[in-house]
Amino acid sequence: MSFSDLFFLYLFLPVCLLIYYKASKTRTRNLILIIFSIIFYAWAQPLWVLLLLLSAAVNWMLALQIQSRKSPDRQKPFVALAVIYNLAMLLAFKYTGFFAENLNAMFRLSLPVPQIAQPIGLSFYTFRAISYILDVYWGKYKAQRRFSLFLLYLSFFPHMTAGPITRYSSMETALTKRRATPSDFYEGLLRIMVGLAKKVIIADHLITIVDNFFGTGLSSLSMLGTWYTTILYMLYIYFDFSGYTDMALGIARLFGFTLDENFRYPFMCKNIQEFWQRWHISLGTFFRDYLLYIPLFGKRRKYASLFLVWFCTGFWHGASWNYIIWGLYYGCFIFMEEKLGRKRLKAWPTWWKHLYSMLVIIIGQGIFYFENTRQLGSYLTHMFGISMAANGTGFTDIATWTSLKNNLFLIIIAVVACFPIVPKLKEKVTANRSDTVYTAAKVAAACFCVFLLIICSIMLVDSTNSPSLYWNF
């Protein structure tokens, strides 16, 4: 079950809300959310519910053990045990096949390569558990004594399968005391509809175009066609993931939870460091807070830690070399920006800063797409025109121009939607200080979002369910 599923939109979520608000006590409401979260997760993978429950039980008990020890030396074994357990779960289910394949290739072994189905959302709830354990150890908050509340934090279905990686501090108060106001419902519903439109109207159509070009092989693809397809893939990832996140935050708000933002118009960035302050924010801040400042070989090593962070960022996304290359690729540009310094970067012309950032991001998203390293190499030769000289492929081709012409309206909508137009309009309406204008703007926004919902619902009637790309991570 995914958020862009008619069953979820018109049955699961309404029934959950109805039963939830029929209950008056917070404890009962929490139990209802836990039950619906388990059902939501079990809908796709019933067996792996046991793994989720085991993870919740182990991390809950270890956190209590950490808190009960007053001395850091007595706490450390339990912290190490919790981190080892969580990372072991990730390695076992996500990376075992990758390691076996590479050991076979490097040492000419014949190790069996297990085909293990990865539990949905494993990377997300594992990182939530690790952040919880470390924050308890560092004394940022007390360990939760009630297992049901910790289980709700870990399994809450809006952020269960594809994030954001919510910190316990963001939900701690709301777990025991929360209230959804009419404003929460209004903003939450609008955000759900906008997120759904991002996913169904924009992302799902963009990936169809991308697959038509990249999925049939690269041999006949021109240089311009390669850039065109990569740009569409970049837009697809943004609208797919940010659309899912919008829906997650909107759904959470219906229940009185305010989750942290995960995207802030990333293509507005002027450098790569800023891009990662705007893109998948919860993942970037996780590695910054829990890995960047860890002493390596006895002391802090700034640049070694930086590349370790970006290696882990890439590897977190999947058990494939292209993700590692992708992570280190961004690490190299952030290292370069660190060495240049803020003053030099600030002195660049604004147009050049935007152009530089977009070129780096576009190429990076192409690396992200191709898990097969041979295809990745072929892609790069097409991207930089090497195949034009080596294989005689053209600079442009008819298929690219035809696709651009046929999908121009969709592409324009996607590009325009990357800019913070709605926040700017909200600012103007708020600054107007007119009740009439404010009310008219709210009614117009609601009508437009309902229109988007109707369009999306019609599109979903005969379509195959397409979960978010980040379900795979």
What integer is the mean pLDDT of 139-154?
Answer: 95
Residue 298's pLDDT band (cuts 50, 70, 90): low
Query: 188 with 152: CB under 8 angstroms?
Result: no
- For residue 300, pLDDT over 70 is answered with yes
pLDDT tens digits for 421-467?
A: 988 888 888 787 778 888 898 999 999 999 999 999 999 987 766 77
* DSSP summary character for residue 9: I
**Residue of 159, 205, 280, 317 marked catalytic:** 317
What integer is the mean pLDDT of 393-412?
Answer: 92
- For residue 297, pLDDT over 60 is answered with no
264 backbone dihedrals φ, ψ, rounded to 5°: -135, 75
Distance CA 166, CA 262 (A): 10
pLDDT tens digits for 179-188?
A: 999 999 999 9
- For residue 85, pLDDT over 80 is answered with yes
CA neighbor of 95 nearest in space, from 111, 120, 114 = 114
Burial category of 162 from C-beta neighbours within 10 Å (exposed 0-12, middle 13-18, buried 19 and up): buried
Q: Which two tokens stand for residue 241?
A: 């993931």
pLDDT tens digits for 249-281?
A: 999 999 999 999 999 999 999 999 999 999 999
Distance CA 269, CA 262 (A): 15
Distance CA 260, CA 262 (A): 6
Q: What is the mean pLDDT of the chain?
A: 92
Judge whether 280 counts as a catalytic residue.
Answer: no
pTM of the predicted structure, to 2 decimals: 0.94
- For 13, 41, 73, 197, the CA distances from 9, given in Å and listed in that order, are 6, 16, 50, 13
Q: Which two tokens stand for residue 465?
A: 């369910």
What integer is the mean pLDDT of 310-333?
Answer: 95
Question: What is residue 453's predicted lDDT score, i.e. its pLDDT?
Answer: 95
Residue 472's pLDDT band (cuts 50, 70, 90): confident
Distance CA 59, CA 75 (A): 14
Burial category of 170 from C-beta neighbours within 10 Å (exposed 0-12, middle 13-18, buried 19 and up): middle
The length of the chain in residues reads 473
CA neighbor of 263 nearest in space, from 242, 287, 286 = 242
DSSP secondary structure string for all residues of 46-110: STTHHHHHHHHHHHHHHHHHHHH--SHHHHHHHHHHHHHHHHHHHIIIIIHHHHHHHHHHHHT--
Amino acid making up residue 26: T
- Does 314 or 293 have the greater pLDDT score? 314
